[in-house]
Amino acid sequence: MLPTLMEVEGVDAGALRRFVEFVLNPLSLAIVARGIDDGIFEALAAAPLGLAELAAELGAEPGSVGLEMTVELGRDLGLLALDGARDSARVGLSDLSRRFLTRGSPLRLLGLVDHYRRYLPAAASLPEALRLTPRAKRTMWRPGAEREEHRAYFAARQAYNESRRDYFRDTAYLLLRGHLRHGLGERRRLCDVGAGPGAFACLVKKCFPAIEAIAVDVSFGFDAYRERSEAMAAAEGVDVAFVGANALLDPLPEGVDVITLNRLISGVPRDGADAWIERAFAALAPGGVLAMVDMVMSGDPEHDHLVALVVAQWMAKDRYLIAREPPTDPNDDKHQWGWSPPWRGEELEARLRAHGFVDTFTRAADPPFTLVGGIRP
């Protein structure tokens, strides 16, 4: 189940940051992934176990070196707790693991781990990427792209989108924590543009039942995709409208007082962002807010070094995949992959003001996310 507002607001920001740092470091991520794959975290969810008991529970060989390594390193990373001398110690979960790494936790981030662990084989490709990556050519987000080009792109992405549902679901509350920084709870009609599977809109509706939540994404035009999102909303007991529309070409719902763009602008080139901002301005009611939570540089060095790690992983992953699996589908966006500098908050604020927004803002949120937005006067 998605978390409650009390659970979202009650997250220890320091613990969350430490966990994200684990995930963005390939070495610590490998240990986290091993603990998940071997079932260590779930085996310890009920109560601590002795090392021999844990081995038996997992079906591991008595005295398994691999298990001992994972447990010892997990303890030193703060993922596990050992009570007693090594030979007789009982192994338990740390608060960090209990909160973020067990399936029963409403604050679990297993989807985040699964998303970034797919980058592990590509980590060694970064030096090559730094030498050979071309400039990105993401033409479909530029003005003048045809509707069929957009639809073909999203059709080609269906398998990827489905494989990342857990990622979008488990990280929705990180986005919400960013949006709480602009007073989201005071709004009445929300439109989440580029909504993916709609987990964020479902979470908003669960935490703020009085808000009308609308999720807009081209992918909702594909029946099977939309039906799975509708099933998610039904399971959560929330009423969310899933609209299969192209936000750049089709009318957006009118009279909304908050439009959210989550994890969207980071994939848009410099000459494509204005169209999104213009569309949002036109759809917002006076006094409404456009709020973007994304991998954007905030100006806070401690925060931005984690954003830089995400961007570096993107570049390594792109180089790794293209070198080993050249795209064959002409609609596969791997054809357009390449380097595009990460957006910076002040840069986006300037774009917002140029299109009429006032009282613009940039605020570092839980890493690797930054909140950027403005008000329509």
Domains of the chain: 5-107 (1.10.10.10), 120-375 (3.40.50.150)
Q: How far is CA 134 from CA 129, 310, 317, in A?
A: 9, 18, 14
Whether the per-residue pLDDT at 177 is higher than 90: the answer is yes
- The stretch 346-359 carries a mean pLDDT of 98
Query: Rounded distance, CA 372 to CA 269, Å?
Result: 17
pLDDT at 72: 94
Tokens of 32: 């986290």
Quick one: CA torsion of 245, 247, 253, 257, rounded to 10 degrees? 140
pLDDT at 364: 98
Whether the per-residue pLDDT at 175 is higher than 80: the answer is yes
Query: Rounded distance, CA 365 to CA 180, Å?
Result: 10
pTM for the model:
0.94
- Cα dihedral sign, 364-304-292-356: positive
Tokens of 238: 């929330």
The average confidence (pLDDT) of the chain is 93
Whether the per-residue pLDDT at 331 is higher than 90: the answer is no
pLDDT at 159: 82
Quick: pLDDT tens for 274-303.
Answer: 999 999 999 999 999 999 999 999 999 999
Tokens of 131: 């030498």
Quick one: CA torsion of 120, 124, 126, 128, rounded to 10 degrees? -140
Query: Given pLDDT bands bounded at 50, 70 and 90, which one contains residue 339?
Result: very high
Whether the per-residue pLDDT at 334 is higher than 90: the answer is no
Spell out a b/e string for 58-75, using b for 16 or more CB atoms within 10 Å of the CB, else e: bebeeebeebeebbebbb
Query: Given pLDDT bands bounded at 50, 70 and 90, which one contains residue 63?
Result: confident
Q: Quick check: helix, strand or coil at residue 198?
A: coil
Query: Given pLDDT bands bounded at 50, 70 and 90, which one contains residue 106?
Result: very high
Place of tokens 């609609």: 331
